[in-house]
Amino acid sequence: MIDAFLNAITPFNIGLALLGVFLGTIIGALPGLSATMAVAVLVPFTFSMEPASGLIALGAVYTGAIYGGAYAAILVNTPGTPAAIATALDGYPMAKRGDGDLAVTISCFASAFGGLVGAVALLVLAPPLAIIALKFGPVEYFWLAIFGLSLIAVLSKGATVKGLIGGAVGLGLSTIGSAVIGGDVRYTFGTPQLLGGIHIIPALIGLYCVPVLLNMVSTKEAHIERANTKNSSRIGEALTSIWNSKFNLVRSSVIGTVIGILPAAGGAVAGLVAYSEARRSSKHKEEFGKGAVDGVIASESANSATVGGGFVPTLVLGIPGTPPDAIILGALMVQGIRVGPRLFTEQADIVYTFIFGLIIATLLMIPVGLIIGKTAFKTISSIPKSVLVPAIGVLIMIGSFAVEQNSTHVIMMVLLGLFAWLALHFGFEPSPIVLGLILGPIAEQGFVQGYLIGNASGNLMGEFFGRPISIAIIGFTLLTLLWPIWSERKSKKLKEDQIHE
Amino acid sequence: MNLNRRLFAKILASASLLFASTLVPFAAQAADYPERDVTYVIPYNPGGESDVTARMQQKFFKELTGHNLIILNKPGAGGATAWAQLNGFKADGYTIMGTIVPHIILQPAMKEVGYQTEDITNVFFFHYTPDAIIVNAESEFKTLQDLVDFASANPGAVTMGGSGTNTANHLAAEIVSGLTSTVTTYIPFKGSAPAITALLGNQIKSVMSYTTQGVKAGDQVRSLAVATEKRHPALPDVPTFRELGINHVGGAYRGVAVPKGTPEDIQLELAKILAEINANPEFQKLMLEAGYSVIDVSHEQIPTFMGQKAKTYAGAIKQLKAKQ
């Protein structure tokens, strides 16, 4: 272990980690360019490096990119990576009232903390934690997706019916294309371009970024308030806020780590679940969605924790925990590293060097993030909208195309964007639609697989309702759905009692 | 000003020369092929088997030709997005694309995917990933016979995971269940990796997957049979289907295709380069260790090869269609 630590802190590896975090943060910060893309671009360069160094570079870029996604979400309200969806919910309102610098700084510290929790879990608990990934069968994914959909209640900001309609639209959109299970071709209207379905990244860019851009063009007011203090990092203030929210920080980091371990879930789900838990346990629920510091802390610490969490199944079982992990796994194969349970014993030097590298990269993220964050805030709050809008417009086009080198995605992004803009005018928020789009396929596949397996074993009800983890998730879902009703009743009753007295 | 104008004229002249030179027919230039970097479109995500094997070729291509093989991932619709676009690329040998049999036979047979099997001009097939039936290491099925016996006694009770519906895994599961006269329940997953995950978690009883997955998962799983002619060196203890009396050899055959109209001599030259990469012992070692089987289906053999494969799959495709 000590050897691995010394290996990780060679000047070359530290230099790589620094460069990786820097590049990753920049790529993640650009709306439309995601962590997956950042990792994919870097992979070929790592083939000429030592396995551990290559891995450190990839891990650092990945960490940086997940964090970088917060800038666009906070400062422009355009979560370019799915992981940053929940960050925008409160980050942008903060920026709008002039606290953009504070939000960026808080997200930097929260991300670093979450990243460390994930990486330390990977370091000390990887093999036992990997079991969680295996306990999740198709049925558990189905219930997890249903639980995720219950978060619409949280995301729809009071307009529950509109939120539900939006969620249904998202679910509908997710069925377009050739079904993974069943192979049916749905709603393609005979066009081969639609066979691949609606890709989540261009859809996300369209649904979130395009309405923001159109609104920026159609209103006169400044996009966000400029810095109102001279010291535009507000580090002390940020640290105080985080200290006051320490339980939220730890809880969100743990949620992020565990959800990161589940393949097929990912940063977006982690951020949203942590956000909704933070909101539920908060004493100031009404502040959420209007610039609550706790919301930013929850989302950012959780999505950064998925990095370390995601590496647990990737390294222990050879199962990629998140999309960027799939690419890193491919790179490992090319390097001749056999992932699997024996990796931690047979090639322990490489694995532990990598994990220490990841921890170092996470720590380096604090200075790098603060410097880039300060610059980003100053730049975005001072450049005129006439420059900002076309620049982001070009970036989101490139981003949509680059996902799969496919021009259909650009068209899809623009169309969905226009749709979202119109919908927003009628009070339909994009978040429930996105949630439906992300969770639809998980729910569908889990349900059909669970149904087939249940039928094969002759115990369909047991398959869906008899498994311990399923029961726990169903319980959480009911709690999320019924808690608001119950607490409202209670407060009403309390009031009535007071009146009667 | 005058100077500027002359400079401009010069630039214009050299630019048009440059433009003209690109227009010079590239046919009959095969001796020099490739003169520059070649773009290698892979219809799958980075990290998948198509991508990984292409990246293994990359290094040797550079050694042989002095030019880079630039990999461009263009995933979507199980590969169909890229294959439907193949003939839209310039037919000069500088854009080539990965292909897979049975995918390019199966997809157009099952539904409208924007291309037909004949639209793909295959130049060379360089390896195949043999089919393998894999169970959890703790499984009650010690041999393929155990699984077959159980499936015969309990039709439909053996769940067999695989990647997607109407895919290579699905086809292989159909072929094997036909050959053994058993009924299993095929459970489609989004790719090979999630299927293996479900197997490791004991969510399903078996998977129809590839040797590579058996190698990757190591001790956690037991491969019951592999669809090679001789035992695979990376899994020396696992019998072939043929040893067990089941006549099944096959898997995912990966090759390289070019846009329609690419000059014949360039196709031949490309096939020659790919065959030389295949002949490199270092390349073979990389491929074998990961569980692939290196094969040479040369340019001349391709029509026969495609014909044979189409015939092999015909029965199973019919069964899959009947189930639709």
Task: Show which of B227, B244, B261 is a domain's final residue.
Answer: B244
CB pairs under 8 A between A and B: 165
Shared-domain flag, residues B45 and B116: yes
pLDDT digits (tens, 9 = 90+) for A336-385: 777 776 778 778 888 888 899 899 999 999 999 999 988 888 888 888 88
Shared-domain flag, residues B276 and B238: no
In a domain, B15, yes or no: no
Torsions phi, psi of A321, nearest 5?
-80, -30
B73 at A interface, C-beta within 8 A: yes
B-contacting residues in A 357-396 (Cβ below 8 Å): none
A320 at B interface, C-beta within 8 A: yes
Give the domain CATH number at B40: 3.40.190.150
pLDDT digits (tens, 9 = 90+) for A374-413: 888 888 888 888 888 998 899 889 888 887 788 889 999 9
Shared-domain flag, residues B214 and B148: yes
- Residue found by looking up tokens 């020099």 in the block: B32
pLDDT digits (tens, 9 = 90+) for A203-235: 988 998 899 899 888 888 777 776 555 555 688
B112 at A interface, C-beta within 8 A: yes
Shared-domain flag, residues B56 and B74: yes
Token reading at B258: 């070019």
B72 at A interface, C-beta within 8 A: yes
Shared-domain flag, residues B111 and B212: no
Cα separation, B203 vs B196, in Å, equals 10
In a domain, B13, yes or no: no
According to DSSP H, which parts of A47-137 are helical? 51-71, 85-94, 100-135
Q: How many CA atoms lie within 13 A of A448 on its CB side?
A: 19
**Number of domain units in chain A:** 1
Owning domain of residue A65: 2-223+233-494
pLDDT digits (tens, 9 = 90+) for A231-243: 556 888 889 999 9
Which residue does chain B place closest to A332, by CA atoms? B47
pLDDT over 90 for what percent of chain A?
Answer: 37
In a domain, A228, yes or no: no
B194 at A interface, C-beta within 8 A: yes
A-contacting residues in B 155-174 (Cβ below 8 Å): 156-159, 164-166
pTM of this structure: 0.84
pLDDT for A158 equals 67
Shared-domain flag, residues B142 and B229: yes
A-contacting residues in B 210-249 (Cβ below 8 Å): 215-220
Cis peptide leading into residue B102 (ω within 30°): yes
Shared-domain flag, residues B53 and B111: yes
In a domain, A443, yes or no: yes
Q: How many CA atoms lie within 13 A of B307 on its CB side?
A: 5
pLDDT for A327 equals 80
Cα separation, B214 vs A459, in Å, equals 30
**Number of domain units in chain B:** 2
Task: Show which of B244, B261, B287 is a domain's final residue.
Answer: B244
Mean pLDDT taken over chain B: 89
Mutate to test the interface with A, among B52, B160, B203, B219 (most CBs of A within 10 A): B203
Cα separation, B269 vs A128, in Å, equals 52
Cα separation, A455 vs B239, in Å, equals 31
Q: How many CA atoms lie within 13 A of B20 on its CB side?
A: 6
In a domain, B112, yes or no: yes
Token reading at B172: 């292989």
Give the domain CATH number at B169: 3.40.190.10
Mutate to test the interface with A, among B39, B220, B288 (most CBs of A within 10 A): B220
Can you spell out the DSSP letters for B39-66?
A: EEEESS-TTSHHHHHHHHHHHHHHHHHS
According to DSSP H, which parts of chain B are helical? 2-23, 49-65, 80-85, 103-110, 144-153, 168-180, 192-200, 211-217, 264-279, 281-290, 302-323
**C-alpha dist (Å) from residue B126 to A344, B231, B310:** 33, 19, 18
Mutate to test the interface with B, among A43, A404, A448, A451 (most CBs of B within 10 A): A404
Shared-domain flag, residues B272 and B236: no
The pLDDT of A44-67, averaged and rounded, is: 87
Mutate to test the interface with B, among A180, A262, A448 (most CBs of B within 10 A): A180
Among B196, B218, B324, select the one facing A342 at the smallest CB separation: B218
Query: How does residue B1 score in pLDDT terms, banded at 50, 70 and 90?
Result: very low
Query: How does residue B273 score in pLDDT terms, banded at 50, 70 and 90?
Result: very high
In a domain, A499, yes or no: no
pLDDT for B10 equals 53
Chain B nearest CA to A451, separation (Å): 10
Q: Is the pLDDT of residue A81 over 80?
A: no
Residues of B in contact with A470 (CB under 8 A): none
DSSP-assigned letter for residue B240: B
Cα separation, B77 vs B73, in Å, equals 13
B47 at A interface, C-beta within 8 A: yes
Q: Which of A270, A269, A312 is nearest to A133 (CA)?
A: A312
Among B46, B188, B290, select the one facing A181 at the smallest CB separation: B188
Shared-domain flag, residues B137 and B219: yes
Cα separation, A355 vs A350, in Å, equals 9
Which residue does chain A place closest to B51, by CA atoms? A330
Shared-domain flag, residues B226 and B283: no
Owning domain of residue B297: 28-128+251-323
Among B59, B110, B216, select the one facing A340 at the smallest CB separation: B216
Which residue does chain A place closest to B212, by CA atoms? A333
In a domain, B11, yes or no: no
Task: Show which of B187, B209, B244 is a domain's final residue.
Answer: B244
Q: Is the pLDDT of residue B19 over 80?
A: no
Which residue does chain A place closest to B291, by CA atoms? A333
Chain B nearest CA to A241, separation (Å): 40
- B73–A336 CB contact, under 8 Å: no
In a domain, A152, yes or no: yes
Contacts of A188-191 spanning 24+ positions with Cβ under 8 A:
A190/B112
In a domain, B3, yes or no: no
pLDDT digits (tens, 9 = 90+) for B280-311: 999 999 999 889 999 999 999 999 999 999 99
- B73–A334 CB contact, under 8 Å: no
Helix (DSSP H) and strand (DSSP E) numbers for chain A = 23, 2
Shared-domain flag, residues B272 and B202: no
Shared-domain flag, residues B145 and B237: yes
Residues of B in contact with A320 (CB under 8 A): 47, 193
Query: How does residue A415 score in pLDDT terms, banded at 50, 70 and 90?
Result: very high
B51 at A interface, C-beta within 8 A: yes
Q: Is the pLDDT of residue B209 over 50?
A: yes
Which residue does chain A place closest to B76, by CA atoms? A196
